[in-house]
Amino acid sequence: MKISVIIPTYNEELVITESYNRLSKVLADNKYSDYELLFINDGSVDRTIDILKEIAGRDKCVKILDFSRNFGHQAAVTAGLNQCQGDIAIIIDADLQDPPEVIPQMIEVFRQNQCNVVYGVRKARKGESIFKKLTAKIFYRTLNYLSEINFPLDTGDFRLVDRKIIDVFKSMHEKNKYIRGLISWVGFKQCPVYYERDARFAGETKYSFSKMLRFASIGLFYFSIKPLKLATSIGFLSLAAGFLLALWLILFRGSSVVNHWGSRTVYWKSFR
Ligand code: UDP
Ligand code: MG
């Protein structure tokens, strides 16, 4: 069984060597010999790509997809899923918040339960601001409330998917993907693995507030029609309110409208 590890990477010069070391150690320690570490360099402007090239030069299991600019985390994971060769793939962040040591556990659950997806559920999130934890909690619960699908709570993209799921995913051509949602949505057999999310190994988060908002809105608008229904209802309510106001003005307030609103209203005042 060939294993692909998909690692989206943006300006991670401080962590990338350590990620590579930990990932290859975990895989070697567990006697997985047939694997590829697929790093997607998402338009980094630091030394990430130089370090990756140096690592790939000495380890044939390391492969690189090098983006022409920063397209975002979800685009990087999508490219990884499209290009990976494995019978199974594991999506993992480069910053070691998702501990590589959980991977063998995921593979074990995959084997024992014969499931198609093993998703990581965060029992704890170390080293993250109260703001991030709170907004994440509110967002995932709101998404579940608004959408018809029940997404597992407190999960990110850290998950194992088998070839069936990869092929279904590849057939979806949405431009902006909310990957964790799409993978839940496709169904088949999905099992959880619980883990503690660590603090970032080094450096700062690469998810700015605006990137986070964009990501959240893609999730909401793709998986719930309630925002659309709300916009339609507001539209109709405004139309009805406008119509009633116009009626009221015509029937009861003709003269004062002329006084206050000027020449435009004179026409229908005289008409009346
Ligand atoms: N990342 C990426 N492109 C981006 C932003 C982030 O490939 O535009 C990568 C980043 O290098 C990391 C993963 O996506 O491996 C998650 O990002 P980060 O750790 O900064 O997000 P956080 O964990 O703070 O939500
Ligand atoms: Mg992180």
Question: Running DSSP on this structure, what letter comes out for residue 99?
Answer: -
Residue 272 has pLDDT above 60, yes or no: no
How far is Cα 3 from Cα 136, in angstroms, rounded to an integer? 30
Fold of domain 3-224: Spore Coat Polysaccharide Biosynthesis Protein SpsA; Chain A (3.90.550)
Which residue among 47, 206, 214 has the greatest number of ligand 1 atoms within 8 angstroms of its CB, and so is best to mutate? 206
Cα–Cα distance measured from residue 26 to residue 106, given in angstroms and rounded to the nearest whole number:
12
Give the Cα separation of 98 and 134 in Å (integer): 19
State in Å: Cα 207 to ligand 2 middle. Answer: 8
Q: Residue 94: its pLDDT value, please?
A: 96
Please choose, from the candidates 197, 171, 195, the residue with its C-alpha nearest in 3D space to the C-alpha of residue 182: 171
Q: Residue holding tokens 């029609």? A: 225
Confidence of residue 108 (pLDDT cuts 50, 70, 90): very high
Q: Which candidate, 71, 63, 162, places its Cα nearest to that of 111? A: 162
pLDDT digits (tens, 9 = 90+) for 185-237: 999 999 999 999 888 888 888 888 888 888 888 888 888 888 788 889 899 99
Angstrom distance (rounded) from CA 113 to CA 89: 17
CA angle 206, 88, 168 (to 5 degrees): 85
Ligand 1 centroid–CA 246 distance in Å is 53
DSSP 30: T
Amino acid at 143: L
Å from CA of 128 to ligand 2 middle: 9
Q: Which of 89, 111, 108, 219 is nearest to 160 (CA)?
A: 89
In short, whether 122's Cβ falls inside 6 Å of ligand 1 is no
The structural domains of the chain, with segments of one domain joined by +, span 3-224, 227-271
Determine whether the shortest distance from the Cβ of 97 to ligand 1 is under 6 A.
Answer: yes
Answer positive or negative: Cα dihedral of 221, 227, 228, 231: negative
Spacing, Cα 144 to ligand 1 middle (Å)? 23
Which of 10, 132, 197, when mutated, tests ligand 1's pocket best, judged by the most ligand atoms within 8 Å of its CB? 10
Asked if 75 contacts 43 with a C-beta cutoff of 8 angstroms, the reply is no
Pocket lining: 43 vs ligand 1, CB cutoff 6 Å = no
Nearest to 106 by CA among 97, 98, 94, 117: 117
pTM of the model: 0.82
- Give the CA count within 13 Å in the CB-facing half-sphere of 2: 10
Which residue do the tokens 């019978």 mark? 87
In short, whether 95's Cβ falls inside 6 Å of ligand 1 is: yes
Cα–Cα distance list, 236 to 19, 167, 250 (Å):
53, 42, 21
The whole-angstrom separation of Cα 76 and Cα 44 is 12
% pLDDT > 70, the chain: 93
No. of H helices and E strands in the chain?
Answer: 11, 7
111 Cα: distance to centroid of ligand 2 (angstroms): 28
The answer to whether 216 touches 139, Cβ cutoff 8 Å, is yes
Task: Tell me, using a 6 A CB cutoff, whether residue 72 lines ligand 1.
Answer: yes
pLDDT at 255: 55
CA distance 255 to 6: 72
Please count the other Cβ atoms lying within 10 Å of the Cβ belonging to residue 16. 27
Residues 6+ apart with CB under 8 A from 129: none
Q: Summarize pLDDT for 34-90 with one digit per residue, the tens.
A: 999 999 999 999 999 999 999 999 999 999 999 999 999 999 999 999 999 999 999
